[in-house]
Amino acid sequence: MPDPGGAGRGRAHDGVAATSTGAGAIPGEAATGPADEAAAAAAPPPCALVIFGASGDLTRRKLVPALYALACDGLLPAGFAVVGTGRSEMSDAAFRETMRDAVTRFARVRFDAAAWERFAAALHYVAMEYAASGLARLSERLEAVDRAHGTGGNRIYYFATPPSAFVPLAELLGEAGMSQEEGGALRRLVVEKPFGRNLATARELNTALHHAFEEPQIYRIDHYLGKETVQNVMVFRFANGIFEPIWNRQYIDHVQITVAETLGVEGRGAYYEEAGALRDIIQNHVMQLAAIVGMEPPGNFEAETVRDEKVKLLRAIRPIHPDDALRHTVRGQYAAGEIDGEPVPGYREEPGVEPESLRETYVAMKLDIDNWRWAGTPFYLRTGKRLPSRATEIAIQFRRVPHSPFSGHRATPGGALPPGGIEPNLLLVRIQPDEGISLRFGAKVPGQSMRIRSVDMDFRYGSSFARQSPDAYERLLLDAMLGDATLFAREDEVEEAWRVCTAILDGWRAHPPDRAHTPNYPAGAWGPEAADAFIRRDGREWRRP
């Protein structure tokens, strides 16, 4: 986890430059760049990263560009290699050329020919069937890589494959003895989401993976947790004495977590028909954000301590009975409409989607948390495709003042704004885009009369730090090499999130949406009208990012 001293200080309004204190730095001295970070960071042990599914989109767009950025920042170990695998026939040279194009297009750092040549020398590819014979071929190549690159027999296996391959691959690695940590060699497994389709299948997947790997060897990756702003929520709470004392039901009226996308399913219609918005976004990304916002302060920032507190929060979520699912949620599907003035098709017109599909592309839901900190303070979660803007944010709305001498009106229950009243304070964490944190408060408008207007005090990563934030996969890949599981989901975290979502799925299955009213929002709208009515019945309104 980030050192609390690394939180940084926002740029002052008088033009004083912002400073940040990194691990091991003298307080008040600015960190100067990647070289200082590389010097301060713990060095990962030598290892070979084995990517199953290396010919796929994830490897091209995210994994290899992230590894190249780590290499440019001097954060990879001296003994390091990548061994990509896939069913497609490809030579090392062809794999390197494909990855060169990917790095040029998608890497955070600018392409440098000399740096690329050094990095590319450690890229290898093995064409193989996912069977015992293919694994023997892979094992031979890994032994050669150990000799050539000094990777010391250490392996990190990355499953960048469809979920259907997770269990067979894990079983193969276990049967071949390639998952066992013997003689001090490390063996780790990084698994992409989805982690099952419901609680039962998540448990089955965990059990199957445990036949080959122990739980401490398994790193379930959720790229949202690698984002700088998400990590900064914990630093913001636990490294600043003014916020944690008011981070509770006494001062906070409610929490809204929004993941809004302007995009549609983008050629993933067949996948989305199986998944839907609840499985795709809520069960993993949004539930993890809720856990981080709501968790109790950990005793330290060791991985298990932090994850214990997240699990406690998830366990405190009040169970939603399937019969009550429709009272706690709203689902929607987008129709044809306009995004940024351009016409876009409806979900049912997307390739791979059934013409009469009832699959949800929008979800809004309310969670009640039954613990001392949050009792009576609801968490509202929502996600949707083809919404007016792309935004991921956490909005903490504080309670209204109990009596305002300026407006002549008392605050009304539930947070509704009375005529002439003052807007409540709002803490906004913007995860993407325009990463930063804003605090909204009331200020007097200049003039003779007592007029009050809400103003924002902003911290922005782009202006406060003279460097670009690393990509989420850069942080998470480096943590997997270091053996730091803080930002990865543990099995009980996954199962607790599925406990909540499975009950909703069961309720939806028992009460399918009305075909006559599906789809129920046009592309370019902020979801179905029922979602607005859903939150208004509590006297609240959705934010419009």
Catalytic residues: 285
Neighbouring-strand partners of residue 365: 329, 381
Phi then psi dihedrals of residue 188, to 5 deg: -130, 155
Neighbouring-strand partners of residue 379: 255, 367
Sheet holding 426-432, edge to edge: 329-332, 362-367, 379-384, 252-260, 391-398, 426-432, 436-444, 452-460
Whole-Å CA distances, 161 to 84, 188, 266, 272, 487: 12, 16, 19, 17, 21
Whole-Å CA distances, 542 to 52, 211, 437, 533: 42, 45, 19, 10
Identify how many contiguous H helices and E strands the chain contains and give both numbers.
18, 18
Compute the distance between CA of residue 493 and CA of residue 281 in angstroms, rounded to an integer: 15
Burial bucket for residue 33 (CB in 10 Å: 0-12, 13-18, 19+): exposed
Q: Give the three-state DSSP class for 372.
A: coil
| Angle separating helix axes 199-210 and 491-510, nearest 10 degrees | 150
Neighbouring-strand partners of residue 364: 330, 382
Q: How far is CA 252 from the centre of its chain?
A: 24
Compute the distance between CA of residue 77 and CA of residue 49 in angstroms, rounded to an integer: 12
Per-residue burial over 515-524, b if 16 or more Cβ lie within 10 Å, else e, is eeebbbbebb
Compute the distance between CA of residue 340 and CA of residue 391 in angstroms, rounded to an integer: 15
